Chains A and B, each alone.
Chain A
């Protein structure tokens, strides 16, 4: 079965702290794609990153970084020096190969960054 698990329901940090959001996925496919989306309080879903299963290189974009480890089926997201504007719900998602392009979302992690 294909599944995405975000075990952390809510995380609360103080500004400037580093925070890691965990994502564990399940699939038997060898080709798949992993995503992170951000949903701020305004409600829209904002695309952050896409990774395919053959590219295990970690990625850094400003204060954001992602760690993809196939050995543990994890695709974790770290925010360095968090800011109040990072407060949002973050979703990890999976697309399998084979023509079905549906995003399989995790339940999301609500991040609250306090000043």
Chain B
């Protein structure tokens, strides 16, 4: 158990809908990262927050947004969902930034029908 929690574990929804994925980092970790794992793209970095502020952005679609709250939990919002958004979404956390190991949550499997 990495200490990172993610909810829900599974999510099934329809095209055009909006969903919110939630992540709680390990106790004491200030950085939160979101990754997407799909069969065609592999594991891709989406976005990083550090102590409430956006720190780095990857290939995150404009339909996707995230935030980190004062209690350090983070939410990833996916809107206008398309079939291709079906994937495993991971949250990870690390103590600081700059090359520290990242510990991953169990992931949320999103299925868009």
Binding site for A on B (CB under 8 A): 2, 31, 33, 35, 42-45, 48, 55-56, 58, 88, 90, 92, 94, 97-107, 109
Contacts and interface: CB of A to CB of B under 8 A. Distances in A.
Interface string A23-52: 000000000110101000001111100101
A97 B99 contact: yes
A73 to B, nearest CB: 17
A45 B98 contact: no
Contacts of B101: 35, 47, 50
B42 A107 contact: yes
Contacts, number: 67
Interface residues of A, number: 24
A44 B90 CA distance: 9
Contact of B104 (A47, A50, A102): A47
A62 interface: no
B43 A101 contact: no
Given A43-B88, A97-B98, A102 B45 contact: yes
